[in-house]
Structure 1
């Protein structure tokens, strides 16, 4: 599984990358803004993209829609929304988003990602 991480916290990006790589996930890149994410997806063509819901004033929900629209890359990665907030805080927005699912940042793991995207 090839994964792209999108979060506005460099510290979280480093920690998440280390965790996922220890668990066998190929973290092919990281981005801190929506525009950077769109460029990385087109360039790196990940299988799955983890998108923080709150990107320093940008909406992760809007970015998820843009990433899955197909306008930026033909293979359209599966998107998983992530946050340090509870899913209950965003339940309606998560359900109406094109994301494959939601993960609380504290529950991030290769197995959790695979279960949401149907990977083995």
Structure 2
């Protein structure tokens, strides 16, 4: 699932990921839509824009962890801004990682999720921290 307040980005991300064998089961433009869809569709992962206009994607990430069912939803935060601008907030969030929108790809999503499986929060470009 992809959550972003920009309808053009939602469409582009859906098309890009679908062509890279990532099934996008739903898109949402705000927190209410995202929570409702996550509850209904039970996606494996949600890509959530940090800046949802007047809403906070960071806050939404926490709500998705708490409010979308017995199995916590994996959240990957996304932004058009560099990770360094939000590093402390990302680290403190329940998200499994961060992707800059310009680096969004099926492989980047799979790499972040693989890092969760092996207990690391991997950077899909530079690898795990400290390596």
- Cα distance between partner residues in 2 of 1:111 and 1:58: 28
Residue 61 (structure 2) pairs with residue 64 (structure 1): yes
Scaled by the length of structure 2, what TM-score is found? 0.85
Structure 2 unmatched runs, 5+: 118-131
Q: Which runs of 4+ in 1 moved over 6 A?
A: none
2:125 is matched with which residue? none
Match of 1:54 among 44, 51, 54: 51
Scaled by the length of structure 1, what TM-score is found? 0.93
Q: Give, in angstroms, the shift of residue 72 of structure 1.
A: 2.5
Match of 1:76 among 56, 72, 78: 72
Q: Which structure's CA Rg is the greater one?
A: 2
Give the superposed CA RMSD.
Answer: 0.9
Match of 1:109 among 96, 105, 113: 105
1:35 is matched with which residue? 32
Q: Retained in 2: the 8 A contact 1:23–1:110?
A: yes
1:6 is matched with which residue? 3
Q: Deviations over 1:73-118 (max 9, x none)?
A: 2222100000000001001000100000000000001110111111
- Count of residues paired in the alignment: 115
Structure 1 unmatched runs, 5+: none
1:68 partner SS: helix
